[in-house]
């Protein structure tokens, strides 16, 4: 029997449709599939063919639009995630995980605006690691990065949840403490100073201990209106006084606070680690730009 005639017979019409579909699936060839589909469709009544055509066009359009919608939704989610990640990276110090200088300035601007409305005090603590260049020179920049991470950990641990801790320079850090007057802000700075004095950084076979100096200024000591530059400069002046006073000190605007004998830098007398030199990558040196 002629196969094509058997397929086209009215009795085997539905069976031929299934066989045509099976032929497409089994053969997997485009020519055979097109021939089978055309064989079935060209002998259908016009009304039925029109209904099938409309159904096929509608289903195809829905699939295409649904596919475009899914792709567009995925792209939008990816775009939002990338945007959020970039925004976070733009305000975060990549080495220590603290806020960076830009984030600190934004937060300080917002707090000073609130201060203008409520007259609540705002304190700014500037911190600088003493003799940090010696760490880099003796142990290499990877060791310096490890020390900076230790400093960041101690700063973060001493802060309240509402405070903003940031790395604002090479070895310079800052803490924004809303709602604190000079005496309370000085206590926070002293707590950070003592914590770092007791801490140490392990790097290879070496144990590295460093200290820091701190300067404290608040809106109480400044003439209104107080802007970011004025408060920043006032705390920086106190930091300079702490450096000039012997380091490992806390100085506060308007008074000398927590006087104590400066503790000398403690560095073990061990040779520079060869592997630190071999593994040092200048592109990854994030520390030490500013020296005091």
Q: Is residue 216 part of a domain?
A: yes
pLDDT at 230: 95
Across 256-272, average pLDDT? 40
User: Is 30 contained in some domain?
Assistant: no
Is 142's pLDDT higher than 70?
A: yes
Question: What is the pLDDT confidence band of residue 176, given thresholds at 50, 70 and 90?
Answer: very high
Confidence of residue 274 (pLDDT cuts 50, 70, 90): very low
> Would you call 86 exposed, middle or buried from its count of C-beta atoms within 10 A (0-12, 13-18, 19+)?
exposed
Domain of residue 163, CATH code: 3.30.70.270
Q: Are 224 and 195 in contact (CB under 8 A)?
A: no
Q: Is residue 96 part of a domain?
A: no
Band (90; pLDDT cuts 50, 70, 90): confident
What does 154-204 look like in DSSP terms, one character per residue?
HHHHHS-TT-EEEE-SSSEEEEEEET--HHHHHHHHHHHHHHHHH--EEET
65: its two tokens:
């639009």
256 φ, ψ to 5°? -100, 125
Query: For residue 199, what are the domain limits?
Result: 101-284
What total of structural domains would you count in the chain? Answer: 1
Question: Annotated active-site positions, please?
Answer: 171
Cα radius of gyration rounded to whole Å, the chain: 36
Quick count: other Cβ atoms within 10 Å of Cβ 278?
8
Q: Rounded to whole angstroms, how far apart are CA atoms 150 and 134?
A: 16
pLDDT tens per residue, range 17-67 = 544 555 544 455 555 555 555 565 556 566 665 566 656 666 676 666 666
End-to-end CA distance of the chain: 101
Report the alpha-carbon distance of residue 178 to residue 185 in Å, rounded: 9
118 belongs to a structural domain: yes
pTM of the full structure? 0.63
Measuring CA to CA, how many Å separate 213 from each of 126, 168, 171, 210? Answer: 8, 15, 11, 11
Domain assignment present for 39: no
**CA dist., res. 34 & res. 32, Å (int):** 6
b vs e for 157-191, b when ≥16 Cβ sit within 10 Å of the residue's Cβ? Answer: ebbeeebbbbbbbbbbbbbbbbbbebeebbbbbbe
Residue 36 belongs to a domain? no
Give the full edge-to-edge strand order of the sheet including 164-167: 164-167, 172-178, 122-129, 212-218, 250-252, 255-256
Structure tokens at 39: 């064989």
pLDDT surpasses 90 at 72: no
What whole-number percentage of the chain has pLDDT above 90?
A: 54
Handedness of CA 249, 251, 255, 257 (dihedral sign): negative
d(CA 89, CA 108): 19
pLDDT at 125: 98
Q: Which of 113, 94, 116, 97 is nearest to 105 (CA)?
A: 113
Q: Is residue 88 part of a domain?
A: no
Q: Which helix (H) or strand (E) holds 49?
A: helix 46-90
**Overall size of the chain counted in residues:** 292
- Whether 85 is covered by a domain: the verdict is no
> Buried b / exposed e across 241-272, counting CB within 10 Å, b at 16+?
bbbeeebbbbbbbeeebeeeeebebebeeeee
């Amino acid at each position: 029997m002629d196969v094509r005639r058997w397929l086209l017979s009215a009795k085997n019409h539905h069976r031929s449709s299934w066989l045509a579909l099976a032929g497409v699936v089994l053969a997997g060839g485009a020519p055979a599939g097109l021939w089978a589909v055309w064989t079935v469709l060209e002998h259908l009544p016009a009304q039925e063919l029109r209904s099938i055509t409309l159904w096929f066009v509608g289903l195809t359009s829905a699939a295409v639009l649904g596919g475009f919608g899914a792709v567009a939704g995925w792209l939008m989610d990816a775009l939002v995630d990338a945007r959020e990640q970039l925004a976070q990276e733009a305000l975060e110090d990549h080495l220590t995980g603290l806020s960076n200088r830009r984030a600190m300035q934004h937060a300080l601007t917002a707090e000073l605006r609130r201060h203008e409305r409520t007259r609540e005090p705002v304190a700014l603590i500037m911190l600088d690691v003493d003799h940090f260049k010696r760490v880099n020179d003796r142990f290499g920049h990877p060791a310096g990065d490890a020390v900076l991470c230790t400093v960041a950990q101690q700063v973060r641990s001493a802060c309240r949840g509402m405070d903003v801790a940031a790395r604002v320079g090479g070895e310079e850090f800052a803490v924004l403490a809303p709602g604190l007057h000079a005496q309370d802000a000085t206590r926070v700075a002293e707590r950070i100073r003592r914590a770092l004095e007791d801490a140490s950084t392990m790097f290879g076979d070496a144990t590295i201990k460093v200290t820091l100096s701190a300067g404290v200024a608040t809106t109480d000591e400044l003439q209104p209106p107080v802007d970011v530059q004025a408060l920043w400069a006032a705390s920086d002046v106190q930091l300079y006084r702490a450096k000039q006073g012997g380091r490992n000190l806390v100085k506060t605007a308007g008074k000398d606070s927590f006087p104590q004998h400066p503790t000398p830098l403690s560095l073990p007398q061990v040779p520079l680690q060869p592997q630190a030199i071999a593994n040092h990558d200048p592109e990854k040196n994030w520390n030490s730009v500013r020296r005091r």
